[in-house]
Amino acid sequence: MEFFEAIILGAVQGVAEWIPISSEGVTLLVATKLFEGSITIKEMITISLYLHLGTFLAALIYFKKDIWYLIKQLFQYKKANEKTKNLINFYIIATLVSGLLGLLILGGITELEGAIAFSQGAILITLGILLLLTGLLQIWHKHEGKRVSTDINITDGIITGVAQGLAVIPGFSRSGFTVSALLLRGIKDTDALKLSFILSLPIVLIGNIILDTSPFIFTLGSLMGLTLSFVFGLLTIHGLLKLSQKFQFGWFVIFFGVLVIGSVLI
């Protein structure tokens, strides 16, 4: 990546990773519209994985207390209380399901390119409509999810894992899919965001190890892109969690739905 391109793409990744639009899709859009570049699906995945390291570090630092607690409890699982076990089980199951599904999809990514181009718009618009309907129902009926993160169960892990696994397809939003799955499962809004954010950590780390970022040469530009991805990621996580607490989440979900549909129509 060129220096200026790395700066822009790093900032875009830092924001786009946590909102329900595809960070890979935005990366491609910015690269082609602003820099007149031509990026293949595989190149786009490689760039995205590299910049994901910045947002990975942002989430790791922001939720360090939660993560450290879960790690300690994992090593004394038998002594952990049921609520903590629920969380540990959720993250393990969701990560395994999404990892296996993601590998299957990546294994056939070349064969899937035609199908992806044909269907991704329809799938994203469907996701956007579901978000709009969910938000409207919350506003009209003043209904919010009643289940908190510690009420999570194995079924939630499987469903959310499938949602995250599908998001490996370029153009699909990981946060959009996982947050939507959790909301539809009745998880409280802020908890759904937090669960989704933390769930991204193992899959991003594993993805970078398996798919390897070695094609990248560490230059001042790439380092700056990584740094801005981290800074903007940290700010976006904090901002989204604060907004979800201060405003009726139905409007928040509607805004997400508009973003998803808008990302298809642009």
What phi and psi values does residue 40 have, to the nearest 5 degrees? -80, 170
Of 56, 83, 72, the residue nearest 191 (C-alpha): 83
The pLDDT, as a whole number, for residue 59 is 94
Helix/strand/coil for 147: strand
Sign of CA pseudo-dihedral 213, 159, 24, 192: negative
Identify any residues that bridge with 187 across adjacent strands, giving them in sequence order: 147
Q: Are 166 and 105 in contact (CB under 8 A)?
A: yes
Q: Do residues 14 and 23 lie in contact, with contact meaning Cβ atoms separated by under 8 Å?
A: no
- For the chain, the domains span 3-265
Q: How far apart are CA 236 and CA 234, in angstroms?
A: 6
pLDDT values of the chain reduced to their tens digit, one per residue, 266 residues = 567 777 888 898 898 888 877 776 676 667 666 665 555 555 556 677 778 889 999 999 999 999 999 999 999 998 999 999 999 999 999 999 998 998 887 776 655 555 555 455 676 677 678 778 767 766 765 555 678 888 999 999 999 999 999 887 766 778 878 888 888 888 888 898 999 999 999 988 877 666 554 555 567 777 888 899 999 999 999 998 888 777 776 777 787 778 778 767 76
The residues that bridge with 241 in the sheet, in sequence order, are none
